[in-house]
Copies of this chain bind each other. A is one copy, B any other.
Amino acid sequence: MEKLSVIKVGGAILENKDSLCRLLDDFAALPGNKVLVHGGGRAATRIASGLGIESQMVNGRRVTDEKMLDIVTMVYGGLVNKQTVAGLQARGVNALGLTGADMNVIQGYKRPVKDVDYGWVGDVDCADGSMLKTLIAKGIVPVMAPLIHDGMGHMLNTNADTIASQVACALSAYYDVTLTYCFEKPGVLRDADDDNSVIRHITRENFQRLVQEEVISGGMIPKLENAYDAINKGVTCVMITRADNLDGSRGTLISG
């Protein structure tokens, strides 16, 4: 099986011109098949604020009423996505910007209201890798915005980590997939205050031990659980690292 990298980067990287340029350079330099998944929350908050609309976050998720849905649709699917695509085209990467609605790549449903009404936030029903595979085989590099659709004419706001995981799992039917999550730290740290304490390799076995020993705790536990969920669904391995390390030479490798 050919290798393929799915790289997820947050919106903060894309908001700053210098870090965006660096990211696009690094992503363009990655050899082989690849997919970029981006966020855009900061830009959405900025544009919403300019339009006099306040962003409301609950548990780190954006409450998405009808007006906010228009904003994330235009900011994620238009502004951030197309600027990224144009930037990659300038670097010789034949990028194609997509949401889950395009070619019906990711369909889902409006999150049912329990304690919180998140509005037009979507949970994923299914992701289809077949059209992506056809395009990737022709040298196209998909660039995915964190939006899906409900099959009934509505766009839905979806977390970029989820998009990355869904696309990685769908493509693992055709490729040996590495899924890379970029965040603000160089990897999973033994000591949260020491960037040089990156744990280089986590397996299922030492993951349990690291949790018992409380080396891994807090928000890092769901991150790693999500990584193992992707591995259970076919992804070969997951890398957690910083965006300035796309080649994976540093960072934490998570495998089965």
Contact = CB atoms under 8 A, between A and B. Distances in A.
- Which applies to chain A's interface (DSSP): helix, strand, loop or mixed? helix
Given A74-B79, A82-B73, A96 B89 contact: no
Copies of this chain assembled into the complex? 2
Contacts of A47: 51, 74
Contacts of A97: 77, 99, 101-102
A154 interface: yes
A70 to B, nearest CB: 6
Interface stretch (A145-153, A176-184, A205-213, A224-232): A145-153
A120 B138 CA distance: 31
Interface string A126-159: 0000010010001010000001011111110000
Contact of A85 (B89, B101, B138): B101
Contacts of A86: 101, 149-150, 153-155
